[in-house]
């Protein structure tokens, strides 16, 4: 056996083999050394906590604390504090309490509480009166520190101030004396009493809190009803705030109660549903019952309709007739 020949046959490479071997070596070297040659990068990112919302919440809490502290800073030992800045925070919660006519100069703490005022406000009022202060006209009460505008507007129509004597001062001591040479001043309302079934827009606009839009809505509601049979019906006018209605209620009267009635035996469904108290939900059952059972003998017969409760009947009966 010729070993030299065998070795020559196995270890002799052609030009193509040498190129392939070099390419493999180059790739191998590249795989091992290329990662070290490239710059190292990290896929991990630094997590930054977003604390902006925490700061915003703290600022909001601080503002709320500052606002609440404004109400607790009343100095009840200083009578000059009764002046109230109407541009400050308002009391938005609807006050609760019973309304009645009262004299703010003589009303007790129990009476103020019954009106729905808060204890701090009552304390400020009584402190002002105890130091010799007097309310000469209803508007004076609005300047009490801590009495919010909506609270004053709610009770203002019920303020009745008795005549107050002239105040004189002697040796620095305050004394209340009636001046016999001076005619006591009396305060009369600058608003006229109007009949709600005959008043026009001009008369309504003259009332406190009623503008041109509300006056038109009240009259439109009155016309659709066929007239008012109760002053409280005015308060049902669309978009009329209850606070405004309470202010004007004392200036309303009802003398003419001639109502326009609907004949339920001849009225069409369109005529019935046009009434604000009837609408389609009642008009349709009324027509259906009439078609099935014949004409109504009396107004009370509509109570036989299932949807007509006693409350509904009492509300719509003044506007119905059978003839």
| pLDDT single digits (tens) 214-233 | 999 999 999 999 999 999 99
- Same-domain status, 211 and 159: no
- Same-domain status, 168 and 81: yes
Q: Would 186 be classed as within a structural domain?
A: no
Q: Would 21 be classed as within a structural domain?
A: no
Q: pTM of the full predicted structure?
A: 0.45
Could you tell me which residues are beta bridge partners of residue 79?
A: none
- Same-domain status, 169 and 236: no
Q: Which of 253, 273, 302 is the last residue of a domain?
A: 253
Q: List the Cα angle 26/29/32 in 5-degree steps.
A: 150
CATH code assigned at 302: 1.10.150.310
Strand pairing of 262-263 and 320-321? parallel
Residue 61: CB atoms within 10 Å: 10
In the chain, the number of structural domains is 3
- Same-domain status, 81 and 171: yes
- Same-domain status, 86 and 139: yes
- Same-domain status, 147 and 95: yes
- Same-domain status, 208 and 271: no
Q: Which of 205, 229, 253 is the last residue of a domain?
A: 253
Q: pLDDT digit string (tens) for 253-279? A: 998 778 999 999 999 999 999 999 999
pLDDT of residue 230: 93
pLDDT of residue 38: 65
- Same-domain status, 166 and 201: no
Q: Please identify every stretch of the chain with a pLDDT value under 50, giving residue numbers as ranges.
A: 44-46, 69, 71-92, 94, 165-180, 182-187
- Same-domain status, 105 and 128: yes
Q: Would 283 be classed as within a structural domain?
A: yes
- Same-domain status, 105 and 168: yes
Domain limits for position 294: 262-321
Strand pairing of 167-170 and 173-176? antiparallel
pLDDT of residue 177: 42
Q: Would 29 be classed as within a structural domain?
A: no
Could you tell me which residues are beta bridge partners of residue 173?
A: 170
Q: Would 123 be classed as within a structural domain?
A: yes
- Same-domain status, 109 and 135: yes
Q: Would 187 be classed as within a structural domain?
A: no
- Same-domain status, 146 and 218: no
Q: Which of 150, 176, 202 is the last residue of a domain?
A: 176
pLDDT of residue 176: 45
DSSP state of 196: T
Q: Would 18 be classed as within a structural domain?
A: no
Q: Where are the beta strands (DSSP E) in the chain?
A: 167-170, 173-176, 194-195, 252-253, 262-263, 320-321
Contact 318, 259 (CB under 8 A): yes
pLDDT of residue 77: 43
pLDDT of residue 5: 67
Q: Would 274 be classed as within a structural domain?
A: yes
pLDDT of residue 102: 86
């Amino acid at each position: 056996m010729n070993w030299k020949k065998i070795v020559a046959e196995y270890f002799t490479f052609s030009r193509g083999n040498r190129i392939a071997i070099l390419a493999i070596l180059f790739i191998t070297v590249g795989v091992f050394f290329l990662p070290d040659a490239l710059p190292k990068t990290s896929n991990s990112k630094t997590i930054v906590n977003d604390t902006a919302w925490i700061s915003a919440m703290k600022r909001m809490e601080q503002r709320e604390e500052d606002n609440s502290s404004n109400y607790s800073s009343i100095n009840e030992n200083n009578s000059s504090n009764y002046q109230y800045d109407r541009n400050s925070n308002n009391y938005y919660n609807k006050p609760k309490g019973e309304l009645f006519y009262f004299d703010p100069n003589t009303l007790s703490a129990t009476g103020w509480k019954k009106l729905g005022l808060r204890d701090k406000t009552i304390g400020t009022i009584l402190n002002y009166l105890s130091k010799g202060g007097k309310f000469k006209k209803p508007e004076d009460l609005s300047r009490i520190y801590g009495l919010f505008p909506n609270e004053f507007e709610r009770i203002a129509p019920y303020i009745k101030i008795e005549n107050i004597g002239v105040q004189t001062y002697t040796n620095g001591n305050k004394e209340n004396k009636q001046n016999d040479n001076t005619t006591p001043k009396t305060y009369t309302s600058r608003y006229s009493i109007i009949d709600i079934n005959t008043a026009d827009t001009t008369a309504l606009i003259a009332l406190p809190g009623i503008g041109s839009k509300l006056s038109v809505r009240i009259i439109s509601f009155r016309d659709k009803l066929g007239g008012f049979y109760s002053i409280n019906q005015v308060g049902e006018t669309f978009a009329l705030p209850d606070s405004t209605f309470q202010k004007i209620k004392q200036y309303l009267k009802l003398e003419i109660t001639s109502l326009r009635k609907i004949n339920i035996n001849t009225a069409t469904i369109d005529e019935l549903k046009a009434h604000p108290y009837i609408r389609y939900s009642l008009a349709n059952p009324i027509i259906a019952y009439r078609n099935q059972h014949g004409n109504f003998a009396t107004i009370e017969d509509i109570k036989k309709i299932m949807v007509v409760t006693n409350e509904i009947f009492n509300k719509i009966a003044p506007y119905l007739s059978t003839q």
